[in-house]
Amino acid sequence: MSMLSGKHGLIVGVANKRSISWAIAQAAAAAGARLALTYPSERLEENVRELAATLDNPLIAPCDVASDQQIADLAMTLDREFGGLDFLVHGASFAPADALHNPFVETSRESFRIALDVSTYSLVGLTRAMVPLMEKRGGGSVLTLTYLGSDRVFPNYNVMGVAKAALESTVRYLASDLGPKSIRVNAISAGAIKTLAASGIGGFSAILQVYRDRAPLRRSVDASEVADAAIFLLGPASRAVTGEVLMVDAGFHAIGL
Ligand code: NAD
Ligand code: 0WE
């Protein structure tokens, strides 16, 4: 029996083939799930449609996570097409580029607002909209993606570190609220991976080299390794796990010097 067979899942955060969310989508499909994928703008719609075409009977829908209306419309579409939902993967994050280039102390009120809205509040809004659909299935699993920049300073990660700290706390508060409905909420803290979200960052190759030199496993991680951990957290094998941040980073978080 495949770990997610007969389950319906929503995956938010696929931009291209290197997206961590796309690796999770492929692994979830291989584990037997039927999936809905979203795109945030017309610019990315074609990308998502092309990738989704390789899946079995996917649902494609728009969702800019900064829009309450688009989240509400998405919930309606999923209710109509799937009749409920078993899991949600939240892989959306964004901070205006200037906030990742200038010193953190220069972060504007507007960049702070956008980073926390898109990268953090969106987990609350999306999860709330999906609760009634998950209740129809007798429970569900919500998963988001975070980074160690939430509690250590990484040069230039800046306001994204603040957004991820708030995101990890959000995981715990949501887990507390939704546990009585058998809805679990967890995060994976992934090691650095060269994706679109990483491509705007100068010196990313040097960051990867630090993992190769110093992580206990002496290497960096790839998206398929994050996806394997995601299948655990989305499926019944993790039925007693909630409010957790699972480190999938070749052990990098464990070392001091
Ligand atoms: P990615 O660029 O492929 O994914 C980020 C996604 O966020 C994109 O699909 C983008 O369209 C989406 N997004 C941005 N604004 C949005 C909006 N308003 N509405 C809906 N979607 C929006 O990069 P990724 O590295 O796969 O990132 C996925 C998640 O993993 C992010 O939360 C990121 O912070 C996290 N993460 C990444 C790394 C890494 O090194 N790449 C490490 C740890 C955690
Ligand atoms: O969460 C992230 C990156 C998120 C991200 C990336 C961008 C680049 C383009 C959010 N917003 C934007 N906005 C843009 O305009 N990661 C975990 C990847 C990442 O980013 C870093 C890292 C790592 C790792 C930035 C500095 C240092 C390390």
**pLDDT tens figures, 177-200:** 999 999 999 999 999 999 998 887
Q: C-alpha angle with apex 246: 154 to 179, nearest 5 degrees?
A: 125
- Give the closest ligand to the alpha carbon of residue 66: 1
Q: How many angstroms separate the first and last alpha carbons of the chain? A: 44
Between the CA of 119 and the centroid of ligand 1 the distance, in Å, is: 8
> Quick check: helix, strand or coil at residue 152?
coil
User: What does the alpha-carbon distance between residue 26 and residue 30 come to, in Å, rounded to a whole number?
Assistant: 6
Q: Would you state the pLDDT for residue 167?
A: 99
Residue whose CA lies nearest to ligand 1 atom number 28: 91
Domains of the chain, residue spans: 8-250
Catalytic residues: 147, 157
Q: Which two tokens stand for residue 178?
A: 């939704």
Tell the CATH topology of 8-250: Rossmann fold (3.40.50)
Decide if 97 contacts 21 (C-beta within 8 A): no
Count the helices and strands in the chain (H runs, E runs): 10, 7
Residues 6+ apart with CB under 8 A from 16: 22, 47, 51, 196
User: What does the alpha-carbon distance between residue 176 and residue 195 come to, in Å, rounded to a whole number?
Assistant: 32
Please give the chain's pLDDT, 257 residues, in tens. Answer: 699 999 999 999 999 999 999 999 999 999 999 999 999 999 999 999 999 999 999 999 999 999 999 999 999 999 999 999 999 999 999 999 999 999 999 999 999 999 999 999 999 999 999 999 999 999 999 999 999 999 999 999 999 999 999 999 999 999 999 999 999 999 999 999 999 988 878 789 999 999 999 999 999 999 999 999 999 999 999 999 999 999 999 999 999 99
Decide if 150 contacts 164 (C-beta within 8 A): yes
Q: Would you state the pLDDT for residue 203?
A: 86
Q: Would you state the pLDDT for residue 1?
A: 63
Residue whose CA lies nearest to ligand 2 atom number 4: 197
